[in-house]
Amino acid sequence: MSLRRFGIAAFALLAPLWNGGLALAEQRFPPPEFETGYKMPAITTPAPRGLAMEYVDVAVLVTALGVAAWLVHRKRSRRGLIVLSLFSLVYFGFYRKGCICPIGAPQNVAYGLFNPDYAIPVTALAFFLVPLLFSLFSGRTFCSGVCPHGALQDLVLIKPVKVPLWLEQGLSIVPYIFLGAGVLFAATGAGFVICRFDPFIPLFRMTGSFFILCLAGGFLLTSLFVGRPFCRFLCPYGALLRLGSLVSKWRVRITPDYCTQCRLCEQSCPFGAIREPLVATANPAALAPDRRRLGWLLLLLPVLIAVGAWGGSKLSVPASRLHPTVALAEKYLDPKKPAPTPGSATPETLALTRADENAEAILTTAAAVRRKFDVGGWWFGGWVGLVVGLRLVSLSTRTARADFEPDRGSCYACGRCYLACPNERVRVGLLSPAEAAGLNANRAASRVAASART
């Protein structure tokens, strides 16, 4: 992929996120005081579970992760992963209604770190840490068959379409930006935006706003043809698991024996995670352009961080308005605010009336929140600049590979590539060695013919 294409994809993606993404937020005010006899509507959020049952959830998570690691690295069973995915979808998805889940857990951690009055629940901390610890040893086994979001997308995939590599690389920075935004809003107390815009939670709970339900339908429709679009291009926790899997002790190995270069595994992967062999260049002169480009990108990295931090600081004021107290304070100070009229009070005017009774406390709290966003905006913008810079740097580095191998960060350990390999089919008794040799010979002849045509 060229750096020019990556820049086009990244700019096209960052522009709506930075300039128009805040438009999706809704104004929120404290609920008005109702007269006696009013019945509050039914709450759509699941009721808290007992502590013992929460520990049961953690035990199920650890067990499922252990089973997934065994199925991926020892059993090498795609069928077993499908069964585990169905169990996870039923238990963590529809039974537990998507809560508690590791995807939103970074927000709990961020809120607890920056708000001393909040104690992080042990179960939330466990759901955040345990899959990350597993990723350091066995890669993205949480994604392979434990995450209900991934299971739902994987089970509806019927006709995979390859996403161009340049577009995949450009979109791959979005989960890190979404993660940074989730941490910023959670740390400042503005809300848990990762959970608010999670497209699959409404499906698990059978309820949700029209916008989120349309978003869920869009992701499910896309999942019919694009492998795990949410996991690849939006999931913030997947970004953390990607980093952990890059240094994992064990990785997915396609063939149990030797690679015959048949490319069948590459065709079987719906996520474009399998990389072709790359021979290291022995001539130092041939590497000179790549080294110069890498050097310039490393020098550019601090500039991108500084520019991103400056841009993030400019977004701090509009972003702070997503906090309900800041929004209420600005409405209260607005000279054009609506005046309360007897007999026709609205939630907005009732909130303003209550704010007038406690104006000093509301304005003080709003000022403190605004200061948090002033600092957080610099950090968030710097984080975005760092993500973009490191992605550009990664595109200028090469890893020598002798065989077709899954990229550690991009591989979801789904197991599809196992039975695509003729050597694996021989190992499990689905092919004889002679049949595998014939298949490899036919594939080699096809590659030679294709090379001759081109």
289 versus 185: which is more confidently predicted? Answer: 185
Q: What pLDDT is attached to residue 129?
A: 96
Asked whether the predicted pLDDT for residue 35 surpasses 60, the reply is: no
Give Rg (Cα) of the chain.
25
CA 390 vs. chain centroid, Å, equals 18
Would residue 405 count as lying in a domain?
Answer: no
Would residue 30 count as lying in a domain?
Answer: no
**Two tokens, residue 333:** 């100070």
CA–CA separation, 101 and 61 (whole Å): 10
Would residue 438 count as lying in a domain?
Answer: no
Q: Quick: pLDDT tens for 329-374.
A: 888 787 777 666 665 667 777 777 777 778 888 889 889 999 999 9
Q: Quick: pLDDT tens for 252-294.
A: 999 888 888 888 999 999 999 998 888 766 666 767 777 888 8
Q: What pLDDT is attached to residue 22?
A: 38
Scored b (16 or more CB within 10 A) or e, 159-185 reads ebeebeebbbbbbbbbbbbbbbbbbbb
Would residue 282 count as lying in a domain?
Answer: no
48 versus 266: which is more confidently predicted? Answer: 266
Q: What pLDDT is attached to residue 10?
A: 44
Would residue 121 count as lying in a domain?
Answer: yes
Would residue 281 count as lying in a domain?
Answer: no
Q: What pLDDT is attached to residue 376?
A: 94
Would residue 363 count as lying in a domain?
Answer: no
Q: What is the mean pLDDT of the chain?
A: 84
Asked whether the predicted pLDDT for residue 310 surpasses 50, the reply is: yes
At 47, is the pLDDT very low, low, confident or very high (cuts 50, 70, 90)?
low
Q: What pLDDT is attached to residue 38?
A: 47
At 28, is the pLDDT very low, low, confident or very high (cuts 50, 70, 90)?
very low
CA–CA separation, 303 and 296 (whole Å): 11
Range of the domain at 188: 1-22+51-250
Would residue 304 count as lying in a domain?
Answer: no
Q: What is the pTM of this model?
A: 0.83
* Counted domains in the chain: 1
Q: What pLDDT is attached to residue 449?
A: 66
